[in-house]
Structure 1
Amino acid sequence: MVDKLKLQDVPELKPSMHLYDDLGIDSVMLLQLIVHIEEDLSLIVPEDELDPSIFVTVESLIGFIKTLEPRTVHASHS
């Protein structure tokens, strides 16, 4: 997360860190984070399940990520 969002002055992520206050994540960065979760982790982030409480702390975000379903990749068999 630190690398993907190019967070400054964050030597180590801690579960209790607040995304907005401690990490300085804004709404645009939050959207980038959701895209990274979907693309890099191959998970589906359902828009109807996005709740502000998910994005309070690193711990709440990790808990949400653990509940996500993997995106199925249909491999073509030739």
Structure 2
Amino acid sequence: MADKKTYKPLDDLLKKTGMTFKAIADKSGMKDYTLYRLRQRPSKMDQKDIINIADATGIDERKISDITLFFARKVDKLQRNKAS
């Protein structure tokens, strides 16, 4: 069974807006593949990305930021420990 390529909590948050990922990317001023990569590794989002996505979707910036922080602390850390 293949692993999910994107981070489900972020996908779920974005899907709640009722917008497609393409519409979110367009309204955020980024390419589709850029949003896809950020959905794969939310810890790669910078403040500008968070603000643009929040403005485009109406999602509170803190919710997006919390997801990116959790990903960096837990998921990235687990992946680093597996590689060691």
TM range (shorter): 0.3 to 0.5
Higher helix share: 2
Which has a greater percent of strand?
1
User: What is the TM-score normalised by the length of structure 2?
Assistant: 0.35
Q: Which structure would you say has the larger Rg?
A: 1
TM-score where L is the length of structure 1? 0.37
Which structure's relative contact order is higher, taking Cα pairs within 8 Å and 6+ residues apart? 1
